[in-house]
Amino acid sequence: MAAWVLEGDDGHVLVDTGIDTRPAREALRQGAADIGVTPESLRHVVLTHAHIDHYGLAGPVREWSGARLSIHEREEELAQRWVKGWADDKFLVGESFRAGGIPAPLADALLAASDRIHQRYEYYPPDELLRGDRGALPGGGGWEWILTPGHSPGHVTVYHPERRLLIAGDHVLPRISPNIGADLYAENPLADYLASLRRLRELPVDLVLPSHGEPFTGLAERIDVLLAHHDERNEQTLDLLDEPKTAYDVALGLFPELPPDNFLHALREARAHLAYLAGIGAAERDPDGVVERWRRAR
């Protein structure tokens, strides 16, 4: 995961921090030393979103530097719920796995994996909330932030209109499609993601700095590839719904060779496509007791 350092009006601005592991701490500390970032020079930390690989070191970095921490208000709500509300949400997540038709042993394993992830989180109250759809980046330097929901509800990208640079976070990646997953915390994230992509496509951008993978050019062309990919996935999902299917069935149909460790992501993506298709009237829920089935809309 890449963290980016910007020259602001009154010092350095760090965009994302990395996960809280010893290697990540050492890499961030060494990287800061290599480019001359000191506790005194680091004035702001801006988080693109609250996933642990971006958010995990936010607290330690603030303790080290005294920098002000910023995150979008939607993502702040998510971070609070992941930490403070998990005791209640854990039951609801388990219920959602059962409603999705997941066999009990796998559902138990997925819930245990989710629990391990949530137990790793610490909550870091921000010093400043980003509100609305777009604004000046804390720390300035001519940079702006743009709300780009989809991968996460309050995900932001960071843009410099004069330099035509875009720090894309996990919104646009050079080689893979970001995980877009529907769950307890995001009802129809694919609709948000596709709309965000189309808005971002119009930006004048010469170079994209992603959080995973190498910097790349050709933002509009990459967005076109991602849009086409999701159109194809939606068609594949509809083809699976000629007979009623659970979300579990759809996930297996879309990702038949996926390793078990990645199945939670597959399930969330399948649900995202089902929710999107329901939203445009192409699919509908077909409830059957505690298990939810989906079919083509009649």
- Give the model confidence (pLDDT) of 169-227 as tens digits: 999 999 999 999 999 999 999 999 999 999 999 999 999 999 999 999 999 999 999 99
Range of the domain at 234: 4-296
CATH code of residue 240: 3.60.15.10
Distance CA 169, CA 158 (A): 8
Distances (CA, A) of 279 to 14, 231, 234: 37, 14, 12
Mean pLDDT over the full length of the chain:
95
Is pLDDT larger for residue 168 or for residue 264? 168
pLDDT for position 262 = 83
Residue 40 tokens, joined: 């005194």
- What is the total count of domains within the chain? 1
16-64 pLDDT tens trace: 999 999 999 999 999 999 999 999 999 999 999 999 999 999 999 999 9
Q: What is the pLDDT of residue 37?
A: 97
Question: Residue 261: is its pLDDT beyond 80?
Answer: no
- Distance (Å, whole) CA 232 – CA 296: 16
pTM for the full predicted model: 0.95
Distance between CA atoms of residues 34 and 255, nearest Å: 42
- Residue pair 168/210 in contact by the 8 Å Cβ criterion: yes
**Distance between CA atoms of 252 and 259, rounded to whole angstroms?**
11
Residues 6+ apart with CB under 8 A from 235: none
CA distance 135 to 144: 6
| Mean pLDDT across 86-101 | 93
Q: Residue 201 burial (CB < 10 Å; 0-12/13-18/19+)?
A: middle
> Half-sphere exposure of residue 4, counting CA atoms within 13 Å on the CB side?
23
* Angstrom distance (rounded) from CA 150 to CA 180: 6
In the predicted structure, residue 286 carries a pLDDT above the cut 90: no
pLDDT at 290: 75
Check residue 287 and give its pLDDT. 67
| Residue 207 confidence (pLDDT) | 98
